[in-house]
């Protein structure tokens, strides 16, 4: 496995990763928003390649202008690769980069009930749940992780 920065050549592969997660994790109507996101990235975006060089996961983050909040954006792994540790590796890579930024004081994300526990195991607290917040049967869970002061961040984040 290799994690690297996204390039425009990865667009179709990332859309295929998205498609593999519809309808359980994303709704079809979100595809256009994800494509637009890829075309105008607000921050770093990473891809996970398998041993054959195929993109099997992607995710990024962006620091909200005027704040010290880094938002995890559009993180996903091909549906058939769920449960293999790729999501953990991708999340840790994103969190390690955020931890390296002394201006970042917290990490926020919006996810569904399907991945809420995954992020709770990494220290995130659920602040709000909106039933059917993304779509019928797909709740929106707003989560946040407060980071230690920059002076205390001496090694990559692992939980």
Would you state the pLDDT for residue 127?
Answer: 97
Locate the DSSP E strands across the chain: 2-5, 45-49, 55-63, 69-77, 106-111, 125-135, 138-146
Angle, helices 11-20 vs 30-39, to 10°: value is: 150
Q: Is 111 exposed, middle or buried (0-12, 13-18, 19+ CB in 10 A)?
A: buried
CB-CB neighbours of 14 under 10 Å: 22
The ranges assigned to domains in the chain are 2-152
Would you state the pLDDT for residue 55?
Answer: 97
Whether the CB-CB separation of 73 and 36 falls below 8 Å is answered with no
Candidate from 53-67, 90-104, 108-122, 140-154 with smallest mean pLDDT:
140-154
Q: pTM here?
A: 0.87
Instruction: Dump pLDDT digits (tens) for 32-55.
Output: 999 999 999 999 999 999 999 999
> Tell me: domain 2-152, CATH 3.40.630.30, correct?
yes
């Amino acid at each position: 496995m290799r994690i690297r920065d996204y390039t425009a050549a990865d667009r179709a592969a990332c859309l295929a990763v998205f498609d593999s997660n519809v309808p359980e994790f994303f709704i079809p109507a979100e595809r256009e928003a994800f494509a637009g996101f890829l075309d105008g990235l607000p921050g770093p975006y990473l891809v996970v390649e398998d041993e054959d060089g195929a993109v099997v996961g992607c995710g990024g983050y962006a620091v909200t202008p005027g704040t010290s909040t880094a938002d995890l954006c559009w993180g996903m792994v091909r549906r058939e690769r769920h449960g293999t540790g790729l999501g953990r590796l991708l999340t840790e890579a994103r969190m390690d980069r955020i931890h390296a930024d002394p201006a970042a004081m917290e990490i926020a994300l919006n996810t569904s009930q399907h991945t809420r526990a995954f992020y709770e195991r990494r220290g995130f607290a659920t602040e709000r749940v909106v039933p059917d917040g993304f779509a019928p049967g797909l709740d929106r869970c707003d989560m946040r992780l407060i980071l230690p002061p920059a002076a205390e961040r001496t090694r990559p984040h692992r939980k």
